[in-house]
A and B are shown apart, each in its own frame.
Chain A
Amino acid sequence: MAMEYSEKVMDHFMNPRNVGEIEDADGVGEVGNAKCGDIMKMYLKIEDDIITDVKFKTFGCGSAIATSSMATEMIKGKNIKEAAKLTNKAVVEALEGLPKIKIHCSVLAEQAIKAALADYYKSKGIDPEPILGKIPPAESCHIHD
């Protein structure tokens, strides 16, 4: 198949898991911007601190879609504290690697989940920053790990 994408990446790109929106989501996060060519939006359904459902919508290249898909799989059914620890590196490893120029896509996926969790914490009146750290605003296209 095309490019230097692994089979795993191509599988998640061709058959993305958890695509869509959750209307009554408990947390929604969006990162990236159209100018840079990728936007990820994550929707979380959370019950008793467990992520019972997750959906995403992504505008972007093959690896942006694949990293979104993989990241949703990795946090579905997990405790939110565990989900908050998901790193871009873990997503890259699960995808059996990404071309170097595409690593920023995995950073976006990690940030999208954190942004959705932050939205959830805020709705509960909890300051997300001590738990999740600072989520950088996605104004610049130059995001690197």
Chain B
Amino acid sequence: MKKPFVYVDNSATTKVSESCFSAMLPYFKEKFGNPSSIYSIAHVSKLAVETARKKAADAIGALPEEIFFTSCGTESDNWAIKCGAKLAKKNGKNHIITTNFEHHAVLNACKSLEEDGFEVTYLPVNSEGLITPEQVEEAITDKTALVTIMYANNEIGTILPISEIGVICDKRNVLFHTDAVQAVGHVEIDVHKQNIDMLSLSGHKICAPKGVGLLYVKKGIRIPNFLDGGAQERGFRGGTENVPYIVGLGQALEDASKDILNRNKRLERLRNKLIDGILNRVPKVRVNGSLKHRLSGSVNFSFEGVEGESILLLLDGYGICASSGSACTSGSLDPSHVLLAIGLPHEIAHGSLRISLCDENTEEEIDYMIETIPKVISRLREMSPIWNE
């Protein structure tokens, strides 16, 4: 029998979709012109980029001129945060508000601003992996330059109250940025209605390739450039446009924003089946983060008495690709800052397992995981000195 291959690490990256891939292909070898050039194939490239911009804008309720293509989510975050802060500094503001469980692109951009004299408030998330709009409101001072809060968490999948925070920031006249890398395609986003000033997203989480992202900046907000260069992106982001990838991102965003509610219903059913299956079969396990405010395809378990990397290696042996927040998988000596932020003790955080589904995952794959994960956990527990049945 062929070894199964079950890819359930879609929060890490996704497979490029057929529709995205075929949309990109002509722009490598046939329509390869530089959009800035003057002849006809260059114009074809230019049109392709502008079509992608329109698709991207439509997917999040923005105007095309509010979309700036970048190289990745991290670049978008750095641009929004560092340059948003720079803009506000001109008005004598030096305070930033974020949370303590952001992606490192946001956390480390904030750390870098601290070195430049900014003060950063890291709002603590609660045990459910959520913050309240009131926490944001209370933290805002007349020195606050920027609020940057992720739309959905990459490790535990919780969805934050972005619309409510948007209302507050609008009322208090504070720039509001959200890292929506994990949320796009899974929640319906309308940047104007939600009072979002800046939004980062990344292609490879929504079935476009790695190496392309975008930053939405609301019309009228003139944040300084992050990457100085030529006249590309109307002079706001230099560098020759990555035409095939931008085309791919446009296509992927168009696909990802279609039929979100029905896709979510299906994913939620599969995810809940997985959660029930694991909780019924494995003792001493918990689900990390709010069950209610959660991405439809995402679940993060903690298994007592076992370590995450061992879980992943054994699952890999069964053809299952997942991830963990243990120290050994984070490449540091501490487990994930997200799991510590929601109050998990180190030893429980070490035993975490994140499963993130996509539309391609099937009921059979869920059944296979419900059968396999308990086997792997009990095998590791049998050799664990801290496990007592």
| Chain A residues with a Cβ under 8 A of chain B | 1-3, 10, 13-14, 16, 19, 30, 34-41, 56-62, 64-65, 101-102, 141-142
Contacts and interface: CB of A to CB of B under 8 A. Distances in A.
A11 to B, nearest CB: 12
Interface in B349-389: 350, 382-387
B139 interface: no
9 contacts: A2-B312, A34-B347, A37-B327, A37-B346, A57-B384, A59-B306, A60-B307, A60-B328, A64-B310
B331 to A, nearest CB: 7
Contacts of B387: 59
A38 B327 CA distance: 10
B383 A65 contact: yes
B331 A37 contact: no
Nearest to B315: A2
B310 A36 contact: no
Interface centre among A3, A13, A59 (most CB of B within 10 A): A59
A58 B379 CA distance: 12
Contacts of A39: 385-386
Nearest to A62: B313
B307 A59 contact: yes
B326 interface: yes
A59 B317 CA distance: 19
Nearest to B381: A59
A144 to B, nearest CB: 10
Given A37-B350, A65-B310, A57 B383 contact: yes
A34 B350 contact: yes
A37 B307 contact: yes
A38 B307 contact: yes
Contacts, number: 74
Contact of A13 (B313, B346, B382): B313
Interface in B14-35: none
B112 to A, nearest CB: 25
Contacts of A30: 385
B385 A36 contact: no
Given A62-B309, A62-B310, A1 B384 contact: no
Contacts of A57: 383-385
B335 interface: yes
Residue in B305, B333, B385 with the greatest tally of chain A CB atoms within 10 Å: B385
A41 B310 contact: no
A41 B313 CA distance: 22
B333 A64 contact: no
A34 B386 contact: yes
A62 to B, nearest CB: 5
B142 interface: no
Contact of B383 (A38, A58, A62): A58
Interface string B156-172: 00000000000000000
A36 B327 contact: yes
B378 to A, nearest CB: 13
B328 A59 contact: no
A36 B316 contact: no
B307 A41 contact: no
B317 A14 contact: yes
B326 to A, nearest CB: 6
A58 B306 CA distance: 9
Given A35-B347, A37-B328, A64-B307, A58 B333 contact: no
B333 A141 contact: yes
Interface in B303-348: 305-310, 312-314, 316-317, 326-328, 331, 333-335, 345-347
Nearest to B347: A34
